[in-house]
Structure formats: structure tokens, C-alpha cells
Amino acid sequence: MTTQTIKIVAVAIAMVVLALLVPRSGNFVVLLATRAMTFAILAMSLDILLGFTGLASLGQAAYFGMGAYLAAILVAKYHVGLGWDFWLVVVLGILCGAALAAFFGLFAMRATGTYFLMITLALGQCIWGLAYRWSSMTGGDNGLNLGARPDFGLNLSDPIVYFYLVFAFFGASLLLLYLLVRSPFGLTLMGIRERELRMQILGYNTWLHKYVAFIIAGAFGGLSGVLWAYTNGIVTPETVVLTTSVDALLMTVLGGAGTLIGGAIGAAIVFGLREYLSTLVPWWQYVLGAIYVMTILYLPTGLMGIPARVRQYLRSNREQAKKKLVSVPS
Amino acid sequence: MSIDQTDEAVPALELRSLAKSFGGLKATRDVTFRVMPGDRKAIIGPNGAGKTTLFNLITGIYPVTSGQIFLFGNDVTKWRSHQRTALGMARTFQVTSLFPKLTVLDNVLLAINGLQPSKFVMWRPLASYRSTYDKAHSLLERASFLDRKDVEVRNLSHGEQRQLEIVLGLASDPKILLLDEPAAGLSSGESTEMAHFLIKLPRDLAILLIEHDMDVVFDVCAEISVLHFGELLETGTPEQIKKSQRVQEIYLGTG
């Protein structure tokens, strides 16, 4: 078996375990897992940009917020999205996330590296400003309440039913994004990450590829936002604040950028640790911060990079042992 | 296609009074030059003569200051890089420009797919494209790289990376290939190997070569032009260039 097959099997087993184990673990764990999976979709969407295309975005919360506010506004103001039209809200959330990314991408794609980071940060803050100031639509600082969750035969107010729904969305997103990164288009993104100039000389319109990737990331960001709104039942400017973008970025880096599943692992760890640590010590944020710093310093490839590092370590050990054997007789 | 007034074949590449300035520095001055299909030409010149700048103008990395560039009869002066490539042009780089963290096979696949419409497909695994894989295999076989196809490029030796540069250049089936110092940093044995590899390339492929290694140039090319301070000074056969007084002056500084 290749390492790739092993990874796929491991992820599949983990998914089955997740689906079987979590619903038996009490309502709190169910809610926590649901939240982590919503954020995992956001982190994976960011990984398409950060890990595969080499674009560090600090504005992914904008599309997340777009989806979340869209759902909240439709439910709270227009009473759309509490029955079968839940699916309409999901589709609209994806489309609006993509549309916003298509608009923002026109500005952001002009820059690379740190400048790309700064532009996406600024654009993300525009959305936060809008959420905060446009009180008549967004409820300002108070945010919007969704009230109940949809009921269309499936009653999503039941935490376990809702968990399975989000699980399905998470699984589908993982599958679609995996298909994307293994496709010819996915390889072009990695080529752009490695050396954009060469890609242009090989005949690729690299701007277009990056732009499309940006829109796809926005679409999945929109989806995760819609799910977040239904999960929490309330959407406030906190949802779109810079911290959300940073969280998504850190989850991706913690799990391992450019691995897709790394974002999901990072989300699970951050949500788990946050809940667990905050019951233990009041200064839990420092612990989380220390973990982030240690990851970036000592494990830049993230948790998913550990097996490769171990292999490399073992190989270099073997080689050194060999050298010793050779050098002893002389 | 633009209308060609004469009955002659259309040049693969034609430069008309091409010039490029970086601020006050004139890196390219009034270069007029033709490469016909199947030609093997070289441009030589001391360091800083503007050879790589000329390539960057031809491939669209830099905008030109004045003059025109024609590829197969099309005025491509204002075109972007990928559009020029689509006409059948490929280039390699003096400083190795591969995709270091991808495997040899992925590098070649990217090079093949550059001009394929399937490069936008995102719902079908790349591994299911049989013909692309077959082509990658035959390219790697010809360059005897097949045994190393799953090695990440950053783990190859410098000489291997130089060869892979050219394999990537050939992957899009170009009609004109621009080689920017293919033998840069190679040992003399390796550059002989490189020269043999270049000689064996199909005869209908036009090659424009920039090189410091005179052995490679004399082996591969039938006509050599000398570039000095961005200007074309002299053009001739390898014998003429070897004997030329001016070329000696430029290179050895006996002027």
C-alpha cells in the first residue's frame, strides 16, 4: 500500500468512528463536534489557498460571515429557511460566498505574499464593519437570533440529527475538495505555489487559476458560515471578526497546510482544547498561544507532517549508523 | 494570422528593432533577428550583455520599450506569456525553475498540461488521464528519467535538474525552443552529454540557444550571433565567429 492509500483508509476509519462515537457521548460533545466540523470546512477551504496555492489569506472570515449573516437575515427578517427552504439557504450561502470572493478576488489577486495577506485582511475587516454598522439589517452589536432550527421531516432541533447533517456536509466538502486537489486543476495550483513564473511560461494563465481557487474557497467558506449560523442560533459581529480568520489560519497550520484533512484535525484540536483548558485554568489562551508558537517553530509541516519527519529521522539515523560502520575499520 | 506579403516561409520568431531600457540602462538596443523553422541558432556574449533580458522580452516576462516581436507571423509584442506559449514556443531557464516539492512525474505532467484544455478540469482525478500519463512516460523514458519519476525534484542533483529543465521545455511539443544556458554549472562531461541530447532533438524544432559553454554552442548551432551591451554585433558560422577579431576583443578584452 502506498502512503496515500494508508492516509485515505485512516481518514475513512476516523470518520466512521466519529459518526458512531460522538452521538453516544452526551449533548455537550455533540455540539462541540458539530461546531468543530463547521469550522473544519472553513479551515479546509482556507487550505486550498494557503496549502495548495501558496496564498496566505487573513480574510476567510468574510465568506464565513457572508454565509452566517445571509442565513440569519433570511430566517430572522424574512422567515425563510426553517423548513424545506433550509436547502435554498444553503445554496444561496454557497453562491453568495462565491460571489463575494469573486468580487474581493479582483482586488486581492493583484498582490502576492505579505501584500495579499494585508489586502485580504482589509477586505475582511470591511465585512466586519458592515456587520457592525448596518444595524437595520444585521442588528448591529446585538446580532441576529435565528430562534429554532429547521424542521422538514428531519427535525434539526435534535442535536444528534443536526450533528449527522453537519457530518454529511463535512464529509461531502472533504470529498469534493480532495477530488479538486487530485484533479489536473489541483496540480496547477501546486505548480503555482512552487513557481508561478514557470507556470506562465508553460502556458498557464496563472491569474485565472488563482482566481478560481479563491472563488471556490469563498464558496466553501459561505457554506461553513450558513452551518455556523444554524449551529449557534445567533450571529453577531464576533462571527466575522479578525479572530475568526486567524483561527482558521492557525487550525490549518496546526493540522498541516497542504494536507486538506489537516484543517479538520486542527479544528478538532483547537475546539477540544479550548473547552477542556478553559475548565482547568483561567489563562488557557496562553496555553493555546504557546502551542501555536511551538507548532510554527518546531513543526512547520503541522501534525500531519509528523510521520514524514519520523521517517526522515529514522533514515538519517540509519545512514549515520552505516557511516560509523564504514569508518570504524579505517 | 497576419498576411505575409512574400511567398517565403513564415519565420518562427522575428524581432524587429527590439529595445528595452531599465531606467537609464539600455539592456537591449535595436535588435533585429530571425529564426526560421528548424533553425539552430545561438546568441553568445559576455556577462551582462543582455542575453537573458532578450529571452525575457521574447517570452513576455518583461514588457518591451520599443520594437516588435513576431511569433509564427503573429505580432505578439503585447501578448502575455501563456498566450505566446500557446503558439508553440517553450523556454528553459538559466537558474533552474522547476517545481521543487513536486515529483519528477508531476513536473512533467504540469508541463504537458499547460496547453491542454483539461488543465481546468477539477472533478476528475489527474491519474485517470491515460494519454497524458503515457506521454509523460515516453518523455521521461527518452531522457532516461523513468526510474526517478517519483523522486521530489529538490532531491535531484544539479545536472539532473538541468536535464529536467529541457524535458519540461519539450513537453508542450513546441516548434521553437529557447534554451537559456542549458549547460550552466555542468561539468565538462555533463555538458558533452547535454550537447548530444540537444543534437538528437527533432530536426523541425527550431532552437535558439544562449550559452557560455562554447563547445555546446559549436556542436549544436549552425549560426552564432554575438550580443554586446544589448546590441547584436556580428553574425556568422561557428568558424567565422571563432576567427573574428571583434569577438576576441569582447571576450578577452584585447581592445
Q: Which of B80, B82, B122 sits opposite A185 (nearest CB)?
A: B122
Query: Could you read off the pLDDT of A75-125 as tens digits, one per residue?
Result: 988 888 888 889 999 999 999 999 999 999 999 998 888 899 999 999 999
Taking the Cβ of residue B85 and every Cβ of chain A, the question of whether any pair is shorter than 8 Å is answered with yes
In 3D space, the residue among B55, B6, B42, B82 whose CA is nearest the CA of residue B214 turns out to be B42
**pLDDT score at A328:** 58
Domain-located, residue A313: no
Interface test with A, best of B82, B95, B128, B155 (most A CBs within 10 A): B82
Domain-located, residue A231: yes
Band the pLDDT of B253: cuts 50, 70, 90: low
Look at chain A and report how many structural domains it folds into: 1
**pLDDT score at A58:** 92
The partner residues of B179 in beta bridges, in order of sequence, read B209
In 3D space, the residue among B57, B149, B55 whose CA is nearest the CA of residue B109 turns out to be B149
- Which residue range is the domain that position A55 belongs to? 13-298
* B24 burial type by CB count under 10 A (0-12 exposed, 13-18 middle, 19+ buried): exposed
**pLDDT score at B1:** 44
Tell me which amino acid residue A122 is: A
Band the pLDDT of B252: cuts 50, 70, 90: low
Query: Could you read off the pLDDT of A148-188 as tens digits, one per residue?
Result: 888 888 888 888 999 999 999 999 999 999 999 999 999 99
pTM across the whole model: 0.88
Query: Could you read off the pLDDT of A26-64 as tens digits, one per residue?
Result: 888 899 999 999 999 999 999 999 999 999 999 999 999
- Which residue range is the domain that position B62 belongs to? 13-97+174-252
Size of interface A-B (CB pairs under 8 A): 101
List chain A residues with CB under 8 Å of B155: none
| Count of other CB atoms within 10 angstroms of residue A301 | 17
Among chain A residues, CA nearest to B118: A184
CB contact under 8 A, B119 and A204: yes
Tell me which amino acid residue A82 is: L
Domain-located, residue A320: no
Query: Could you read off the pLDDT of B156-209 as tens digits, one per residue?
Result: 988 888 889 889 988 988 999 999 988 888 888 888 888 888 888 888 899 999
Domain-located, residue A324: no
In chain A, % of residues over pLDDT 90: 55
Contact assessment for residue B202 and residue B209, using Cβ atoms and an 8 Å cutoff: no
CA distance B89 to chain A (A): 9
Q: Which of A184, A195, A203 sits opposite B86 (nearest CB)?
A: A203
Domain-located, residue A305: no
pLDDT: which is higher, A191 or B8: A191
Query: Could you read off the pLDDT of A124-140 as tens digits, one per residue?
Result: 999 999 998 898 888 88
Interface test with B, best of A202, A205, A208, A260 (most B CBs within 10 A): A202
Domain-located, residue A311: no
List chain B residues with CB under 8 Å of A180: 122-123
In 3D space, the residue among B98, B61, B54, B57 whose CA is nearest the CA of residue B82 turns out to be B61
Q: What is the CATH number of the domain that holds B68?
A: 3.40.50.300
Look at chain B and report how many structural domains it folds into: 1
Domain-located, residue B144: no
